[in-house]
């Protein structure tokens, strides 16, 4: 456990990135090749104040509602704005006032260059995206804390803001992006951070996160160094734990889509590098048995998904309707063959799917939905 408190870490990070809003700090970033066509509308000030380690913007789709965690100067947000089009929306969330001032100062001008205004920047902590810190600051101006009763009122107002006017509402986002920011959150708040990502995503939504990870655990003495926290070192998660954090938050399809071979930094023999991960949020629906199955194509002998369902190569594995739809779509769809039942099972007739049932769906249940006449061997062509 680190000797640093969340306030120590937050203060250190905000001070470092406040400096980064005023002048370029080279040690805060890794070299990244962005789509040059998306940078043409950006002023040098925005490009130079970008501190990232990957390019999650390449996972943006037209019409998406996007949230960028730790949006900084706004570079990724303004890139995403062009990709989502006029129908989409982009929201940057950042805790550093100086960065917010910089990103907001270009909203009108960049919007006119792009051709639409669909980007905004909100003041909040990425591990607490329910609390609007600008709204709370406005309330504090009228209700300064001068005693215990005032402190209780402050806590009550925080709860009301989270409940009634959250910064980012539950299930409201198609895509959560982040570029080299999750490592800046204090260790004890990492679990809450991943839960927040899952909370704001719609069912079927996804996240694309570029961050610094390490190949060994960061020792306590390094975690206690605020300078190393703000330098993207102390808060880095070990590679496997970073991936597991997505699954622990209820996300699935967790996939490493980019892995920096050469380490960005080596500290006491520990390698720190950039990794980009994509994960998805499944619909939380009752599992019903509609007689459906999936055949895993290979090349592995078998695979197990994040919910514990094992698919064996070539077998008709019985799955619920929820898993039939989930595993038949991105990012698994190309890996499986969906098999419908011989006779369609209606919603009224579907029973609860039991994970204790036989894993393999019998062939007489799954004939690709077509009843065929029996044909004696040798009396029909192979087609």
Q: What is the pLDDT of residues 184-197, one digit of tens each?
A: 999 999 999 999 99
Assess whether pLDDT exceeds 50 at residue 23. Answer: no
**Is the CB of residue 34 less than 8 Å from the CB of residue 147?**
no
pLDDT computed for residue 373 by the predictor: 58
Residues 204, 176, single domain; the answer is yes
In a domain, 13, yes or no: yes
pLDDT computed for residue 356 by the predictor: 65
Residues 320, 271, single domain; the answer is no
Which of helix, strand or coil describes residue 210? strand
CA distance 256 to 174: 19
> By mean pLDDT, which of 52-66, 306-320, 351-365 is the weakest?
351-365
Assess whether pLDDT exceeds 90 at residue 93. Answer: yes
> By mean pLDDT, which of 60-64, 80-84, 164-168, 285-289 is the weakest?
285-289
In a domain, 376, yes or no: no
**Mean pLDDT in residue range 286-293:** 90
Assess whether pLDDT exceeds 90 at residue 72. Answer: yes
pLDDT confidence bin for 380, thresholds 50/70/90: very low
In a domain, 212, yes or no: yes
Sorted by sequence, the CB contacts under 8 Å of residue 238 that are 6+ apart come out as 213, 214, 215, 216, 217
**Mean pLDDT in residue range 118-147:** 97
The burial class, CB within 10 Å (0-12 / 13-18 / 19+), for 227 is exposed
pLDDT computed for residue 228 by the predictor: 78
Assess whether pLDDT exceeds 60 at residue 382. Answer: no
**Mean pLDDT in residue range 241-246:** 98
Residues 249, 274, single domain; the answer is yes
pLDDT computed for residue 86 by the predictor: 97
CA distance 98 to 226: 20
Fill in the DSSP letter of residue 313.
Answer: B
> By mean pLDDT, which of 221-225, 296-300, 309-313, 371-375 is the weakest?
371-375
pLDDT confidence bin for 91, thresholds 50/70/90: very high
Which of helix, strand or coil describes residue 119? strand
Residues 316, 202, single domain; the answer is no
**Mean pLDDT in residue range 224-253:** 90
Assess whether pLDDT exceeds 60 at residue 10. Answer: no
**Mean pLDDT in residue range 101-108:** 96
pLDDT computed for residue 11 by the predictor: 57
**Mean pLDDT in residue range 244-268:** 95
pLDDT computed for residue 286 by the predictor: 84
**Token pair of 357 as six digits:** 């049932």
Q: Is the peptide bond before 267 cis (omega within 30 degrees of 0)?
A: no
Q: Please compute Rg for the chain using Cα positions.
A: 25
CA distance 298 to 301: 6
The domain that holds 353 is classified in CATH as 3.40.5.100
In a domain, 176, yes or no: yes
Residues 62, 198, single domain; the answer is yes
Domain endpoint, select from 263, 281, 299: 281
Which of helix, strand or coil describes residue 349? coil
> By mean pLDDT, which of 33-42, 133-142, 212-221, 359-368 is the weakest?
359-368
In a domain, 371, yes or no: no
Assess whether pLDDT exceeds 60 at residue 69. Answer: yes
Percent of the chain with pLDDT over 70: 86
Domain count of the fold of the chain: 2
In a domain, 194, yes or no: yes
**Mean pLDDT in residue range 273-297:** 92
Residues 309, 356, single domain; the answer is yes
pLDDT confidence bin for 30, thresholds 50/70/90: low
Domain span at residue 55? Answer: 6-130+166-281
CA distance 215 to 201: 29
The burial class, CB within 10 Å (0-12 / 13-18 / 19+), for 273 is buried
pLDDT confidence bin for 379, thresholds 50/70/90: very low
Residues 264, 334, single domain; the answer is no
Assess whether pLDDT exceeds 70 at residue 368. Answer: no
Q: b vs e for 360-379, b when ≥16 Cβ sit within 10 Å of the residue's Cβ?
A: ebeeebbeeeeeeeeeeeee
Mean pLDDT, the chain, whole residue set: 88
C-alpha neighbours within 13 Å on the C-beta side of residue 106? 20
Residues 183, 83, single domain; the answer is yes
Residues 43, 115, single domain; the answer is yes
pLDDT computed for residue 133 by the predictor: 97
The domain that holds 36 is classified in CATH as 3.40.50.150
pLDDT computed for residue 332 by the predictor: 93
In a domain, 146, yes or no: no
Residues 118, 66, single domain; the answer is yes
Higher local confidence (pLDDT), 80 or 362: 80
CA distance 349 to 21: 61
H or E element in which residue 293 lies: strand 293-296
Assess whether pLDDT exceeds 50 at residue 123. Answer: yes
Assess whether pLDDT exceeds 60 at residue 83. Answer: yes
pLDDT computed for residue 262 by the predictor: 93
**Is the CB of residue 144 less than 8 Å from the CB of residue 127?**
no
In a domain, 136, yes or no: no
């Amino acid at each position: 456990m680190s000797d640093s408190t969340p306030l120590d870490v937050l203060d250190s990070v905000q001070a470092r990135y406040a400096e980064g809003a005023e002048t370029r700090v080279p040690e805060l970033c890794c070299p990244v090749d962005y789509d040059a066509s998306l940078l043409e509308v950006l002023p040098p000030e925005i490009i130079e104040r970008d501190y990232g380690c990957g390019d999650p913007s390449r996972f943006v789709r037209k019409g998406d509602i996007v949230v960028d965690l730790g949006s900084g100067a706004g570079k990724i947000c303004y890139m995403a704005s062009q990709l989502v089009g006029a129908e989409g929306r982009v929201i940057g969330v950042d805790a550093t006032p100086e960065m917010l001032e910089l990103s907001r100062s270009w909203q009108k001008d960049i919007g006119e260059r792009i051709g639409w205004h669909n980007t905004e920047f909100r003041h909040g902590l990425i591990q607490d995206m329910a609390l609007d810190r600008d709204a709370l600051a406005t309330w504090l101006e009228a209700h300064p804390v001068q005693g215990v009763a005032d402190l209780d009122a402050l806590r009550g107002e925080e709860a009301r803001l989270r409940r009634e006017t959250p910064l980012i509402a539950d299930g409201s986002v198609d895509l959560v992006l982040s570029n080299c920011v999750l490592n800046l959150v204090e260790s004890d708040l990492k679990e809450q951070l991943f839960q927040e990502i899952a909370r704001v995503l719609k069912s079927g939504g996804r996240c694309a996160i570029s961050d610094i990870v390490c190949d060994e655990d960061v020792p306590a003495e390094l975690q206690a160094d605020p300078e190393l926290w703000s330098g993207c070192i102390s808060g880095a998660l070990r590679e496997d734990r970073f991936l597991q954090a997505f699954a622990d938050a209820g996300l699935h399809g967790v996939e490493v889509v980019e892995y920096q071979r050469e380490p960005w930094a080596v500290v006491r023999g520990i390698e720190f590098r950039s990794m980009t991960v994509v994960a998805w949020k499944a619909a939380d629906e009752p599992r019903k048995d509609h007689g459906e199955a999936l055949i895993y194509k290979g090349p592995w002998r078998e695979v197990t998904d994040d919910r514990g369902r094992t698919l064996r190569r070539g077998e008709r594995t019985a799955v619920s309707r929820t898993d039939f739809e989930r595993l038949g779509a991105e990012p698994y769809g190309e890996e499986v063959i969906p098999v419908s039942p011989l006779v369609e099972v209606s919603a009224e007739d579907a029973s609860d799917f039991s994970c204790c049932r036989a894993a393999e769906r019998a062939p007489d249940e799954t004939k690709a939905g077509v009843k065929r006449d029996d044909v004696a061997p040798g009396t029909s062509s192979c087609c």
